[in-house]
Amino acid sequence: MSRSELANYIRKAAEDELLPAAWEAIMVNHYEDIETEAARAAVVRLFQNKNFCSPDEFKKRLQGIADSLELPVNENTFYYRGGGAGVLQTPILAPGANTVVYEPLRSGSHYDLCRAVESGEQPICEYMKQGLRQSFRVTKSPEYGRLTIHV
């Protein structure tokens, strides 16, 4: 399913035109594209917590998720736990150890990534390359905007 098709489906859900069979076919699947999967998971979480917001707020949040799916994708963006953490400024050159320069995103995912590295963990980040999900392990952060990674 394309990002645009999923966005259209989410808009139908926002208008309460949701068919149970479509939910089973679309929202139970997991998607290889990180942004598509993050949007699918956000919609599922929103439906699980539907009673905690007004109908107007619920609709607005669904439409926001749908709109975000139609934004251009930056293949240099990398993700931690499904959320955008940074944008690579230098390429990942080869398997093994690499030091990369990146622009941090102001997000909870970047904050969580930094806390994990500071506590001695080696968190796994993901990115898309030529339409395929790839990953790397962060071994340290020698300075702000730089990561030492292992592919």
pLDDT for residue 93: 77
24 lies in the same domain as 47: yes
Site of tokens 């093994």: 96
Q: pLDDT category, 63, cuts 50, 70, 90?
A: very high
In the chain, % of residues over pLDDT 90: 53
Using CA of residue 25, residue 29, residue 35, residue 38, what is the dihedral sign?
A: positive
32 lies in the same domain as 66: yes
10 lies in the same domain as 21: yes
pLDDT, one tens digit per residue, over 91-118 is: 887 888 889 999 999 999 999 999 999 9
pLDDT, one tens digit per residue, over 4-57 is: 899 999 999 899 887 778 887 788 888 888 888 989 999 999 999 888 989 999
Q: Which domain holds residue 109?
A: 73-150
94 lies in the same domain as 26: no
Domain count, the chain: 2
79 lies in the same domain as 142: yes
* Residue 123 DSSP label: -
Among the candidates 50, 70, 90, a domain finishes at 70
Three-state SS at 99 = strand
107 lies in the same domain as 64: no
50 lies in the same domain as 112: no
pLDDT, one tens digit per residue, over 128-139 is: 888 888 999 999
